[in-house]
């Protein structure tokens, strides 16, 4: 067992096996895609997993080159296999607890269900680094697992997933939407909002003007 469950190959594989079955995620993904300009040229996905979001945006942004970052060897292998030989997609190892790599800026940065594995202090710092890596009019969209406002709603969410408090992912560090939206505004993002939400699944984001 590791501090972050996704470094355990069996845990990472178990997530991939059930990823399609997470209720309502496709709705959130479709809203995310609707916020991404089809003219985007450089797109970064943080905690890419098997490259699910990159695949979502691949045809939507036909001129884009993609960088997917993850720290799990299992996920990197899965994403690399998905885009094998594709010159538009680069998959690289990076721990989101470390400062984002010094690379050319992006016009889109996305993430799904990954940043909530960082501490709250690191989440905020990461959002500021994301802002710093965006070009003018760059878009940030984070489809995220967020905290419920009440214990009853948390239990309801677990029930909807067929999960219980006993088998919750111990590496989840859930934080409510409002705090994260305030951070994004404070950092300087414009048009900050929760663009979509179902229980603990929320799409938050903003634009760097
Ligand atoms: C729930 S999965 C989501 C994967 C993918 N984004 C998706 O939507 O299917 C969480 C992902 O975040 C990655 N992750 C978690 N903590 C990380 C960290 N500190 N640095 C980099 N990646 C991390 C995991 O390896 C995993 O791929």
Per-residue model confidence as pLDDT tens digits over 120-177: 999 999 999 999 999 999 999 999 999 999 999 999 999 999 999 998 888 999 999 9
What separation in Å is there between the alpha carbon of 38 and the centre of ligand 1? 25
Asked whether the predicted pLDDT for residue 102 surpasses 60, the reply is yes
- From the list 77, 78, 80, the residue with the least C-alpha distance to 67 is 80
Predicted local distance difference test score (pLDDT) of residue 112: 98
What separation in Å is there between the alpha carbon of 151 and the centre of ligand 1? 25
Domain locations along the chain: 5-208
What is d(CA 75, CA 157) in angstroms, rounded to the nearest whole number?
26
Asked whether the predicted pLDDT for residue 1 surpasses 50, the reply is no
What separation in Å is there between the alpha carbon of 113 and the centre of ligand 1? 7
Residues 53, 45 contacting (CB under 8 angstroms): yes
Per-residue model confidence as pLDDT tens digits over 36-50: 999 999 999 999 999
Pick the atom of ligand 1 nearest to 97's CA. Answer: 19
Q: Is 174 helix (H, G, I), strand (E, B) or coil?
A: coil
Asked whether the predicted pLDDT for residue 203 surpasses 70, the reply is yes
- Across 10-14, 39-43, 176-180, least confident range: 10-14
What is d(CA 3, CA 177) in angstroms, rounded to the nearest whole number?
25
Write the CB contacts of 23 (distance below 8 Å, at least 6 apart in sequence): 160, 161, 198
What separation in Å is there between the alpha carbon of 115 and the centre of ligand 1? 7
CATH architecture assignment, domain 5-208: 3-Layer(aba) Sandwich (3.40)
Pick the atom of ligand 1 nearest to 4's CA. Answer: 16
pLDDT band of residue 2 (cuts 50, 70, 90) is: very low
The binding-site residues of ligand 1, defined as CB within 6 angstroms of any ligand atom, are 4, 6, 15, 19, 47-49, 52-53, 70-72, 75, 95-97, 112-114, 117
């Amino acid at each position: 067992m590791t501090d972050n469950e996704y470094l355990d190959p069996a845990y990472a594989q178990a997530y991939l096996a059930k990823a399609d079955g997470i209720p309502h995620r496709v709705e959130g993904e479709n809203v995310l895609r609707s916020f991404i300009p089809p003219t985007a040229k450089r797109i970064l996905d943080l905690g890419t997993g098997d490259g699910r979001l990159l695949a979502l945006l691949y045809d939507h942004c036909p001129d884009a080159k993609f960088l997917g970052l993850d720290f799990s060897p299992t996920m990197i292998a899965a994403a690399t296999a998905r885009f094998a030989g594709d010159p538009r997609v680069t998959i690289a190892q990076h721990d989101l607890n470390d400062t984002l790599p010094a690379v050319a800026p992006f016009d889109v940065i996305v993430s799904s269900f990954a940043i909530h594995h960082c501490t709250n202090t690191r989440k905020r710092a990461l959002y500021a680094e994301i802002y710093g890596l965006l070009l003018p009019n760059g878009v940030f969209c984070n489809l995220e697992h967020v905290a419920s406002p009440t214990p009853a709603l948390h239990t309801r969410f677990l029930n909807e997933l067929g999960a219980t408090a006993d088998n919750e992912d111990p590496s989840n560090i859930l934080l409510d939407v409002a705090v994260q939206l305030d951070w994004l505004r404070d950092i300087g993002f414009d048009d900050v909002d929760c663009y979509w939400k179902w229980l603990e699944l929320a799409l938050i984001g903003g634009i760097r003007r």
